[in-house]
Amino acid sequence: MTLNMCLSVYTLSGKTVDQSFEHSAPEITEEHLDQMVVLAERLRAENGGVLDDAAVYAVAEATGAPAEYVRLAIKLRTDKEKRSFLDNLRTQYMLLDPETRRYVISGMMTSLFAGMSAAEQKTAQFASSHSGSSYGLFGMIGLVFLTVALYNTALSRDQKMATISGAIVGGGFLITNSLFCLLLMVKTTISPMWLIPYTFLGAGVGLVLFRVVTQYRDKLGIKDPAKERLDLLRQLQSLQDKLKSGEQSMTFLSIDIVGSTKMKQVADPLDVEFTFSEYHHYVEMLTRKHSGSVHSTAGDGVTCAFPHPQNAFAAARNIQTGMIELNTFRNKVGMPIVVRQAIHTGTVVAPDADDIKSVHFASVIDIAAHLQKVAPPGSVVVSDAAATFIVGGPTAVGQQEVNASGVNGRVWIPRSTPIEAKQGTPPPLPAPATEQA
């Protein structure tokens, strides 16, 4: 299930999306949101924390997506990863609405406190019948759970949440304590008539604790969730700006030799080594001539990077037309070298902005390689995205079209292919320059 599908489900489930978000929704990409979630996780890990509400809201504000949408993105990432049971449990808990989580913790801690109280009563009853002492162990543990429940209530987001959370502690204690006393067969000392007073007492205590914590938050060393979220948002924006600093538009030329395996099988190894070395030197020379650089090589394939599609197209044509000279004077394998090429342009993010070779994973490189595989031998395929920036547009490249991975491209073929030119008279070499006296 994609994030866009999740957003549709979220909308159909009765939730409403802000009007402003509806207009900006197409701009929120799954990759962008996933990257922001990963950054938030790393920032939290570096500070010794976990992905909490502050991180969720910071990602929501940074991307413009609703908080529930971010929670769904986190859930999808968690489902894809192999994690321990406790990690999955924590993540599922964090995916709950903050208000629901506050109530769940209050109810859980109150239930544990009530259970310990009932166990203490059972222990005391047993000790009194055997002339012993209960030591109050269960009672002390119960007080720890009660403290956690009250602390959780005091950290509520607003007065309403604190009041309801406190009411859950007060009323929930009476209900669960009666249940545990029934299970342990202990006579309860609290009448059911105290349910309403206990509930109101808990609500009042929760409200008082919330106001005290709000007033003395700095002195108590308790972080303000709004301030913490703002700090994290600033860190996310700063990291995002640094990542985008390496963002640049680049054009890639993918080159490969047709039938190179057969050529290597029938030719002498030394001739193969010489010929292919000359070929790589030839490609690199023409690439640099047109303001490009060799990005990577894989076997006989070469990928070159250029600052503009016009440079790449000029280099590709120069490589194709120059194959006549290469085959005539530097090819020792007995078979003409025929290459096919493809050009595509797009945006890449280089970790090192000054070194294009630091780009290893980019769709623009993959698309150029896919187009190159469907290019006719001796031709250059230029994607429509790249051809738009070439003088004369796509029609100046050629009329024949090909498609690879859903990307269309135009085919440029020289008037005489390298195979045909091989049978003619090779052009004369330029006369060497004479030194001036």
Q: Are residues 408 and 281 in the same domain?
A: yes
The per-residue pLDDT for range 381-423, each reduced to its tens digit, is 999 999 999 998 999 999 999 999 899 999 999 875 444 433 3
Task: Mark which of 94, 124, 145 sits at the end of a domain.
Answer: 94
Give the domain extent around 184: 98-214
Please state the rounded mean pLDDT for residues 291-308.
91
Q: Are residues 110 and 210 in the same domain?
A: yes
Note the pLDDT of residue 318.
94
Q: Are residues 284 and 321 in the same domain?
A: yes
Task: Mark which of 38, 65, 94 sits at the end of a domain.
Answer: 94
The answer to whether residue 304 scores a pLDDT higher than 70 is yes
Q: Are residues 65 and 120 in the same domain?
A: no
The answer to whether residue 25 scores a pLDDT higher than 60 is no
Task: Mark which of 39, 69, 94 sits at the end of a domain.
Answer: 94
- Name residue 257's beta-bridge partners: 339
Please state the rounded mean pLDDT for residues 292-312.
92
C-alpha 69/C-alpha 80 separation (Å) is 17
Q: Are residues 38 and 146 in the same domain?
A: no
The answer to whether residue 335 scores a pLDDT higher than 60 is yes
3-state secondary structure the chain: CCHHHHHHHHHHCCCCCCHHHHHHHHHCCHHHHHHHHHHHHHHHHHCCCCCCHHHHHHHHHHHCCCHHHHHHHHHHHHHHCCCCHHHHHHHHHHCCCHHHHHHHHHHHHHHHHHHHHHHHHHHHHHHHHCCCCCCCHHHHHHHHHHHHHHHHHHCCCCHHHHHHHHHHHHHHHHHHHHHHHHHHCCCCCCCHHHHHHHHHHHHHHHHHHHHHHHHCHHHHCCCCHHHHHHHHHHHHHHHHHHHHCCEEEEEEEEEEECCHHHHHHHCCHHHHHHHHHHHHHHHHHHHHHCCCEEEEEECCEEEEEECCHHHHHHHHHHHHHHHHHHHHHCCCCCCCCCEEEEEEEEEEECCCCCCHHHCCCCHHHHHHHHHHHCCCCCCEEEEHHHHCCCCCCHHHHCCCEEEECCEEEEEECCCCCHHHHHCCCCCCCCCCCCCCC
Q: Is 32 exposed, middle or buried (0-12, 13-18, 19+ CB in 10 A)?
A: middle
Per cent of the chain over pLDDT 70 is: 65
Q: Are residues 78 and 208 in the same domain?
A: no
Q: Residue 219: inside a domain, yes or no?
A: no
The answer to whether residue 18 scores a pLDDT higher than 60 is no
Its pTM stands at 0.47
Note the pLDDT of residue 37.
66
Q: Residue 375: inside a domain, yes or no?
A: yes
- Of 139, 156, 150, 140, whose CA–CA distance to 109 is shortest? 150
Q: Residue 176: inside a domain, yes or no?
A: yes
Q: How confident is the model at residue 337 (pLDDT cuts 50, 70, 90)?
A: very high
Please state the rounded mean pLDDT for residues 265-292.
93
Q: Contact at 8 Å (CB) between 306 and 250?
A: yes
The answer to whether residue 298 scores a pLDDT higher than 60 is yes
Q: Are residues 191 and 261 in the same domain?
A: no
Q: Are residues 11 and 43 in the same domain?
A: yes
The per-residue pLDDT for range 192-238, each reduced to its tens digit, is 888 999 999 999 999 999 888 888 776 766 666 666 667 767 766 66
The answer to whether residue 77 scores a pLDDT higher than 70 is no
Q: Into how many domains does the chain fold?
A: 3
Per cent of the chain over pLDDT 90 is: 38
Q: Residue 225: inside a domain, yes or no?
A: no
Q: For residue 347, what is the domain's CATH number?
A: 3.30.70.1230
Please state the rounded mean pLDDT for residues 119-130.
80
Q: Are residues 250 and 336 in the same domain?
A: yes
Q: How confident is the model at residue 95 (pLDDT cuts 50, 70, 90)?
A: low
Q: Are residues 79 and 102 in the same domain?
A: no
Q: Are residues 25 and 88 in the same domain?
A: yes
Q: Residue 372: inside a domain, yes or no?
A: yes
Min mean pLDDT across 117-131, 175-189, 378-392 is at 117-131
Torsion of CA 226, 232, 238, 239, to 10 degrees: -150
The answer to whether residue 245 scores a pLDDT higher than 90 is no
C-alpha 307/C-alpha 341 separation (Å) is 17
Note the pLDDT of residue 432.
41
Q: Are residues 266 and 384 in the same domain?
A: yes
Best-predicted range by mean pLDDT (59-73, 86-100, 314-328, 354-368): 314-328
